Amino acid sequence: MTNPYLNAPIQARMYATTVHKVVWVVAVVASAGLLAPPLFFIAAKKHVVTMVVPAAYAAIIYGSAILGSILGNPKNWMGGVLAITMIVAAVHAAILDADWKPGR
């Protein structure tokens, strides 16, 4: 008879301490979301999220900045996209270790 808790795959913690978590969330907000893709790339390397997550954040953040500079920004859409993405990335970064349990 096997126990699902004993045979569960070991998942690395994303943040070592609460201070580490606060520093990353503040870094994402202070950089206006530009540091979100590297944060989620590290999370993907630790198998906390899939590799699609940093690719999606990079495509949205860097793609909107490049597209805004090429097409122009007549209705200020680029700032709105970056602000919404920054808020989503900060919340996502804050809840990365929400399901982590000691002993796993």
Cα separation, 22 vs 76, in Å, equals 30
Has residue 28 been placed in a domain?
A: yes
Q: Please indicate, yes or no, whether the overall pTM of this predicted structure exceeds 0.95.
A: no
Model pLDDT, residue 32:
82
Model pLDDT, residue 1:
53
Has residue 100 been placed in a domain?
A: no
Number of domains in the chain: 1
Model pLDDT, residue 2:
62
Has residue 47 been placed in a domain?
A: yes
The larger pLDDT score, comparing residue 88 to residue 104, is at 88
For residue 60, give Cα distances in angstroms to 46, 50, 78, 86.
22, 17, 10, 10
Structure tokens at 47: 């198998």
Has residue 7 been placed in a domain?
A: no
Share of the chain above pLDDT 70, in %: 82
Has residue 67 been placed in a domain?
A: yes
Angle between helices 18-30 and 36-45 (to 10 degrees): 140
Has residue 83 been placed in a domain?
A: yes
Inform me whether the pLDDT recorded for 46 exceeds 90. Answer: no
Cα separation, 94 vs 21, in Å, equals 7
Inform me whether the pLDDT recorded for 92 exceeds 80. Answer: yes
Has residue 87 been placed in a domain?
A: yes
Structure tokens at 79: 């700032």
Identity of the amino acid at 25? V
Cβ contact 103:55 at 8 Å:
no
Task: Write the pLDDT tens digit of every residue in 12-30.
Answer: 678 888 898 899 899 989 9
Model pLDDT, residue 54:
94
Span of 47-56, 75-84, 93-102 with lowest mean pLDDT: 93-102
Structural domain that includes position 72: 18-94
